Structure 1
Amino acid sequence: MDPYSIIVKPQLTEKSMNAIDQNNELTFVVRRTANKSQIKRAFEDMFDVKVERVNTQIRSTTGVKLAYIKLKEEDSAEDIAMKMGVF
């Protein structure tokens, strides 16, 4: 499956920016039908990094599914954010 069909876009809020620095974690809007293992595999394929865990949440106000992707210690969320043009 195409990773770009699973991961839609980064979610950029003040909370997600703090998570990049403090928790080595990135937040993305993902396809609502995607499960955690599909999200993990798609993210690892897209950015060539190792994912420690994936947490998901469906926002009740908008119905959008968010994925909180925590990277392993050897990989940096800041580096990936810079590649995406967040900073």
Structure 2
Amino acid sequence: MTELRKNDHRLLQVLRAPVISEKATLVADKNEQVVFEIAPDATKPEVKAAVELLFKVEVESVQVLNIKGKAKRFGRFNGKRKDVRKAYVSLKPGQEINFEAEAK
């Protein structure tokens, strides 16, 4: 593995997981974007740097989305689901992330 810089440890914690949903698949096909769940305190430049470091692709832009957790009841207790922060990452033309190849 290549030698990690001091800041790379933080970048490895920025991306939590790829979002696999019907909407994420449509966006990936239509706009060449990939959707990730990210850390609550992550910034756009950190997300861009993390995707470029982990997947060896060029990122054009990043849009960030905060989703508030729904208020739900758990039996007789009121509760709330966790807040989620997502990043829509636009790749430069010709770039592609293949998650199946990355897992091996």
Give the TM-score normalised by structure 1.
0.85
d(CA) in 2 for partners of 1:40, 1:13 = 21
2:15 counterpart letter in structure 1: I
Gapped regions of structure 1 (runs ≥ 5): none
- Aligned counterpart for 2:30 among listed residues 22, 27, 32: 22
Gaps of 5+ in 2: 1-6, 70-81
In 1, distance between residues paired with 2:35 and 2:101?
Answer: 15
Q: Which has the higher strand share?
A: 2
Superposition RMSD in Å: 1.5
What is the Cα deviation at residue 84 of structure 1? 4.7
Shift of 1:29: 0.4
Corresponding position of 2:62: 54
Q: Which runs of 4+ in 1 moved over 2 A?
A: 1-4, 79-85
Most deviating of 61-70 and 30-39: 61-70
Rg larger for: 2
Aligned residues: 83
Q: Deviations over 1:40-81 (max 9, x none)?
A: 0011000111000000011012411000001000212xx424
Q: What SS does structure 2 have at the residue aligned with 1:53?
A: strand
Please report how far the alpha carbon of residue 31 of structure 1 lies from its aligned counterpart in structure 2 after TM superposition: 0.4
Give identity over the alignment, percent.
25
Q: Which has the higher helix share?
A: 1
